[in-house]
Chain A
Amino acid sequence: MVNVIDYVPGTTLLHRLNPVTKLAIAAAIIAATFLADTYALLGGLLALTFALAAYTRTVPRLMSLLKLLVPLAAIMLVLQTLLVRSGTPVLGFITDEGLVSASKMALRLLGIALPLVLMLSVTKLNDLSNACVEVLRIPYKYAFTFTTALRFVPVFSQEMNAIMEAQTARGVEYDTPHPLKKLKLMLPLCVPLLISSVGKTDATALAAEQRGFYLRTRSSAFKRYPLAAADFAVLALCVALIALGVAF
């Protein structure tokens, strides 16, 4: 089963960059998206994300994520246009200012979610945690917790799917066309999911301890993650990107 954050193998420059640099790229694009206030820049940042995705051949990933995000963005767009009261009315309740701020908000939502997924799909989780420990000096415990949490996302979603399948096969109407009814039916599933999750997490803790988790130090990692010239160049570009966000 393929998941949104699974590693997509490749040898592009982006693949080869230090994982920390990749995090910085995502952070810079996200920061610039927050700061940007013009359609041009918001659109430009999204285009940049997609250009990087095209370069690393991860566009299908982003598209599958977009399928989830676009409806969400649409809901936000509608809510925001209905809530903003200032400006001149265009059609009934809807004002021009409302439309502008709502559309920017929707663009921002997309601009924030996509870069992080892009970077995660070109980085192995182990490299990410090891590099964070080595370069950023984050304690391994936290890095491990973070990557394990990410690793568990697909594990739990598979478990959830399996539970829903089992319930559907019993005759629970998860295949109902009503989204609210479906949501109501899904709530009781939290119990089996929680029970299996707690069990899995406990087993993971035990297995990690039995493989010397508590002995690990900053120098344990077999691979080294030095920042190369390319990394510094990209980091400089990241700063420039944020400056661009501040300016426009």
Chain B
Amino acid sequence: MASDSAIISLDDVSFSYGSAEAPRALDRITLSIEEGEFLGVIGPSGAGKSTLAAVLSGAIPHHFGGAFFGTALVCGQDTCTVSLTDISRVVGSVLQDIDTQMVASNVEDELLFGLENFGVPHEAIEKRLQLTMETVGIADLRHREIATLSGGQKQKVAIAAILALQPRVLVLDEPTAALDPASSKMVFDTLSAINRDLGITVVVIEQKVALLSEYCRRIAVMDHGRIALMGTPHEVFSHGEELKRIGVDSPRVARISNSLARDGIIAPGEPCLNVEQAAELIERIYDDAEQRRDASADWQNPEDNDPNTRGRSASPHRPSRTKAEGVEPVVLLDGVNFSYPAGGASVRDLAMRVYPGELVGVVGQNGAGKTTLTKLITGLLKPSAGSVRVAGLDTREVRTSQIARHAATLFQNPDRQICKNTVLEEVAFGLELAGVPRDEAHRRARAAAERFDLPLDEAPFSLSRGQRQMVALASVVVLEPDVIILDEPTSGLDYRECMTVMETVREMADADSAVIMVCHDMEVVSDFAERLVVMADGEILDRGETHALFAREELMKRASMEPPQVIELSHELARRVSPAFEGLHEVSDVVALTKELICRG
């Protein structure tokens, strides 16, 4: 129950958008947030995370209408009885779509807006500005135009604009959704500094489990409007099975330690949260096992074993496939250059070949040119030099709408591609554009929509975000294209939806579509992509087999990327425990090899 030191406490809070009979977005939530806390909130889409953030920041009940039950106290005051402006003095909130939050065209003005409004004395403003910008690390951006900033910088400005008001609580709704791993980490470093140095309470909604587990002191897992699990990252991620049922991912290293605990090798309840912990754990298990061993026993050096024949199970996601001999590449780029007329980003000398049935991941930082590459392939952009051929068509010679018959794109934001009144029409639209007769198109669309359990006659915009992405996915699947391009297919989706998308894509690759996937989630890339194209500053740094590239430290550094946890862990273990770990990339492989090493002897 709410203690005295709680800065925000919710007591039995329920909320439904619309009438009291409508389904509840929040269902009897009791939660108290202590001053100085760093709380992470995670859950599948539709679990009520954003609604919870809105209640904490006072936007509910003041801005969003609906039926509100229970009491929400901020600083001991009932949010229903004080104005939103007064709540905002205590709770600063950073919105999900920061473009809508920005009021000014340059950084300084953006920070000034709130300070001016809240009547901070003018002589104190300059000092406050400098202090805030130093804390967030944007002092050098002070006079920059916001339109010229990168995504990560913009997010920092949005945080600074709120932080300048010196709130006691900062509520952020998915601040890293649009950011690459390096910028995401930077944002969390900033939040961590704010929390540690200024004592500001931070509540952050986030889908990236690795970040949550590393930075937050407490994690709340939401499911169907309730808080399903709550505790320290260790406590929460020791419930691996339950998280999976809810639809929340666990850090890969936590899965490894949870598996070991399930097999009775370690005591349950203390999952690893980062690579270092996992490496230490396995090293310790190994050393213990070695000590227990009889010194005179015949000791077999694991190096003698062929690592290819041992410890490796077949990948659950990436069954290896043999490529047909003599097949023509379906996507062919040669010496492609492109630069935007207004200046800014450009790409140089891009060359790549993608064959039918291949799943290729394109990775790199924001601004590395990944999206430009995909637009060159779909013909939305035409190369200024070199050539792009898709299914035998030179993109410079045919219209984009013709290329669309061979290459389908699943965009990051499904709302940009939805334009019909019902799900059925929407899914059939692409087929009709390609000249398939209406009856035939509807028949195929029906089958595709039913496969994803979509309501055929509903308006797509009345569905949830996750379901809208499924509508978009169904309209790609139904086309059975030669080439599929995925632009950040997993952003904004929860773990379960993400897996549905990826499994579907995998099946389409098995049916001989070529898949090109731009993705920031290295775990997804590692699980699904067979080949990798690493980009930085508009150039392709290297390409090759996914895990071989991930294992190359200098390449990852040059592209400012971090390899997936499991690959980093196996690299570390290969150094510390046994070379047999080198090159493992699946949770199950690491667990199997660890068990094997300790059981022998």
Residue positions of A touching B, CB distance < 8 A:
1-3, 6-7, 124-126, 144, 148, 151, 154-155, 159, 162-163, 165-176, 188-189, 191-192, 195-196, 200-201, 203-216, 220-222
Q: Is the beta-carbon distance between A210 and B119 smaller than 8 angstroms?
A: no
Q: Is the beta-carbon distance between A204 and B401 smaller than 8 angstroms?
A: no
A162 to B415, CA, bound (A): 10
- CB of B185 to closest CB in A, whole Å: 25
Q: Is the beta-carbon distance between A170 and B105 smaller than 8 angstroms?
A: no
Q: Is the beta-carbon distance between B97 and A200 smaller than 8 angstroms?
A: yes
Closest-by-CB residue of A relative to B91 is A210
Q: Is the beta-carbon distance between B117 and A211 smaller than 8 angstroms?
A: yes
Q: Is the beta-carbon distance between B99 and A211 smaller than 8 angstroms?
A: no
Q: Is the beta-carbon distance between B404 and A216 smaller than 8 angstroms?
A: no
Residue numbers in B under 8 Å from A208 (CB-CB) = 103
User: Can you report 16 A-B residue pairs in the complex whose CB atoms are below 8 A from each other?
Assistant: A124-B104, A151-B103, A155-B99, A163-B416, A165-B380, A168-B380, A169-B411, A170-B475, A171-B401, A196-B415, A201-B100, A208-B103, A210-B92, A212-B85, A212-B88, A220-B116
Q: Is the beta-carbon distance between B380 and A1 smaller than 8 angstroms?
A: no
- Is B405 an interface residue, CB under 8 A from the partner? yes
Q: Is the interface of A mostly helix, strand, loop or mixed?
A: helix
- CB of B542 to closest CB in A, whole Å: 28
> Which 6 A-B pairs give the minimum distances between C-beta atoms?
A212-B117, A171-B404, A211-B114, A171-B433, A203-B100, A166-B416
Q: Is the beta-carbon distance between A168 and B461 smaller than 8 angstroms?
A: no
Q: Is the beta-carbon distance between A211 and B105 smaller than 8 angstroms?
A: no
Closest-by-CB residue of A relative to B58 is A210
Residue numbers in A under 8 Å from B62 (CB-CB) = 209
- CB of A21 to closest CB in B, whole Å: 20
Q: Is the beta-carbon distance between B404 and A168 smaller than 8 angstroms?
A: yes
Closest-by-CB residue of B relative to A140 is B117
Closest-by-CB residue of A relative to B101 is A207
A220 to B116, CA, bound (A): 5
**Residues 112-170 (chain B) with a chain A CB within 8 angstroms:** 112-119, 122, 125, 145, 147, 161-162, 165
Q: Is the beta-carbon distance between A200 and B85 smaller than 8 angstroms?
A: no
Q: Is the beta-carbon distance between A216 and B100 smaller than 8 angstroms?
A: no
A60 to B62, CA, bound (A): 46
Q: Is the beta-carbon distance between B401 and A168 smaller than 8 angstroms?
A: yes
A171 to B400, CA, bound (A): 7
- Is B34 an interface residue, CB under 8 A from the partner? no
Produce 1/0 per residue, B59-80, CB < 8 A to A.
Answer: 1001100000000000000000
Residue numbers in A under 8 Å from B380 (CB-CB) = 165, 168-169
| Given A166-B411, A215-B118, A172 and B401 contact (CB-CB distance below 8 Å) | yes
| Given A6-B105, A172-B401, A175-B401, A209 and B411 contact (CB-CB distance below 8 Å) | no
